């Protein structure tokens, strides 16, 4: 099927447009752009140079993708935005190109859903099957894992990481790393146990969840330091993929790990996590 381009849209002849693509009124597609098959671009969308968009994506009104970074050190170097397959960008999302202070790529993984007014800054990496609710704001170099949910109106500080299967509550302020499988919220962000609903929905077994629970308890609740918690987990628990993922995440933190809420105030029993 041929491409359906509205007469008021401006599409560069140098852009690579897949089959069965729709481009709505007043949208602008620049030269160095690739758009995959069956992608629908609504009205007043601007897709700038060095942007690659996968198949079966939906890009709603007012989105701006591939603008230059908001970084004072950026000198106009060639850098990129890469968006996977089956990605939804709701109204007025903005996604900026990378910089040469990282690998030069800002990337959104397959099957991700970005709600209205989400901002993705330079060099961010968002994993697959991840949902960012309205007005989530990622500063530069943020890394978000796979199967993550981040609630609306949540800003995330540059260089922070959100681990796989984590859930961050709305209107939180994330200034530390949020480990995989956990549930975090508040300003500034605290850990509130495991994302049990998310884990069950993704098919984690009771045995897997129980091991993650014990790893969480040792790491963040009973051990006086993270280092001691790591030692306890490595000595006492089996080396399952989930435990390895959690331990590797904690070991490689640069921003530090978000504090456990019960160490500030007792708000939850071990059974509730």
Contact call for residues 131 and 149 (beta carbons, < 8 A)? yes
- Residues 110, 123, 164, 177: which is the catalytic one? 123
Q: CA 28, CA 217: separation in Å to the nearest integer?
A: 52
Does 152 qualify as catalytic in the annotation?
Answer: no
Put the strands of the sheet holding 155-156 in their side by side order.
10-11, 28-29, 46-47, 64-67, 94-96, 119-120, 137-138, 155-156
Which residue spans within 80-222 are E strands per DSSP?
80-83, 88-89, 94-96, 105-108, 113-114, 119-120, 125-126, 131-132, 137-138, 143-144, 149-150, 155-156, 161-162, 167-168, 182-185, 190-194
Q: Which of 36, 62, 140, 163 is catalytic?
A: 140
Exactly one of 24, 96, 110, 122 is catalytic; name it: 122
Distance between alpha carbon 31 and the CA centroid of its chain, in Å? Answer: 27
188 catalytic? Reply is no
**Whole-number Å distance between alpha carbons of 128 and 22:** 24
Residue 6 designated active-site: no
What is the set of active-site residues?
122-123, 140
């Amino acid at each position: 099927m041929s491409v359906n381009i509205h007469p008021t849209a401006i599409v560069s002849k140098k852009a690579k447009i897949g089959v069965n693509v729709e481009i709505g009124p007043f949208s602008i597609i620049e030269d160095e752009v690739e758009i995959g098959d069956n992608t629908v671009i609504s009205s007043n969308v601007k897709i700038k140079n060095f942007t690659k968009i996968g198949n079966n994506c939906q890009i709603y009104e007012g989105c701006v993708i591939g603008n230059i970074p908001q970084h004072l050190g950026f000198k106009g170097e060639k850098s990129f935005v890469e968006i996977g397959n089956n990605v939804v960008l709701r109204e007025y999302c903005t996604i900026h190109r990378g910089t040469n202070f990282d690998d030069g790529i800002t990337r959104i993984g397959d099957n991700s859903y970005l709600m209205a007014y989400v901002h993705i800054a330079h060099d961010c990496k968002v994993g697959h099957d991840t949902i960012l609710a309205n007005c989530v704001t990622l500063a530069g170099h943020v890394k978000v894992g796979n199967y993550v949910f981040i609630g609306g109106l949540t800003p995330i500080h540059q260089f922070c990481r959100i681990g796989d299967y984590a859930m961050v509550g709305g209107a939180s302020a994330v200034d530390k790393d949020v480990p995989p499988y956990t549930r975090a919220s508040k300003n500034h962000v605290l850990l509130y146990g495991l994302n049990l609903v998310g884990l069950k929905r993704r098919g984690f077994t009771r045995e897997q969840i129980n091991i993650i629970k014990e790893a969480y308890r040792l790491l963040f609740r009973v051990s006086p330091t993270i280092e001691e918690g790591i030692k306890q987990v490595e000595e006492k628990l089996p080396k399952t993929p989930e435990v390895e993922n959690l331990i590797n995440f904690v070991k490689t933190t640069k921003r530090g790990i978000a504090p456990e809420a019960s160490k500030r105030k007792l708000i939850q029993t071990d059974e509730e996590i």
